[in-house]
Amino acid sequence: MPSPAREIERKFLVDSPAEDLGGFPHKKIRQGYIAVTDGGTEVRVREEGKCHFLTIKEGRGENRGQEEVEIKHSQFAALWPLTRGQRLKKIRYEVPHGGRIVEVDVYRGKLKGLTTAEVEFPDEGTSHDFRPPEWLGREITGDERYSNQDLARYGRPSEAGSSLHLDEGDRAH
């Protein structure tokens, strides 16, 4: 059986998004979680415009397994009620930087006021060599309080106390 595809990404807080953010390509996203295990495996559905996806991710931190399949709107609609109480809405902007795309997520609804950014990489070496633009804030790669699954289930984290969870091989940059 083949191994799942890998998703290698780093995540950052964005304290002050650029004023011209609306000038970059963007899409509205709503996603909900059907199941989340203690080990970080998640099953989610996502709507991006007119496209719908079922995604399974495994693990935590910078390097995770991921399988994603496009599903029909009717399948999304049938699964969406299973995500009640475990949902989030955001607008994702695609901002180019240094040959990469920085995906800036401006959260809506119960997470309004939170903005994060993610950058995906083809391998860990490229990830570790990446120098973030100055407008990105503190790196939160591996901080599970800011994982989309935890944001959807528990809401915006408080900054009092840290529950940073790093698996071996993950880096807090």
Q: What is the model's pLDDT at position 3?
A: 60
- The residue ranges of every structural domain in the chain are 5-154
The most distant pair of C-alpha atoms in the chain lies apart, rounded to whole Å, by 47
Q: Which of 33, 93, 107, 146 is catalytic?
A: 33
Strand stretches in the chain, DSSP E: 5-13, 26-36, 42-48, 51-58, 63-71, 87-97, 100-108, 115-121
In angstroms, the Cα distances linking 94 to 23, 53, 104, 105 are 10, 19, 6, 9
42: β partners: 36, 57
Predicted structure pTM score:
0.85
Q: Is residue 154 annotated as a catalytic residue, yes or no?
A: no
Chain segment 32-75, per-residue pLDDT in tens: 999 999 888 999 999 999 999 999 998 777 788 889 999 999 99
| CATH code reported for the domain at 5-154 | 2.40.320.10
- Indicate the pLDDT class of residue 166, thresholds 50, 70 and 90: very low
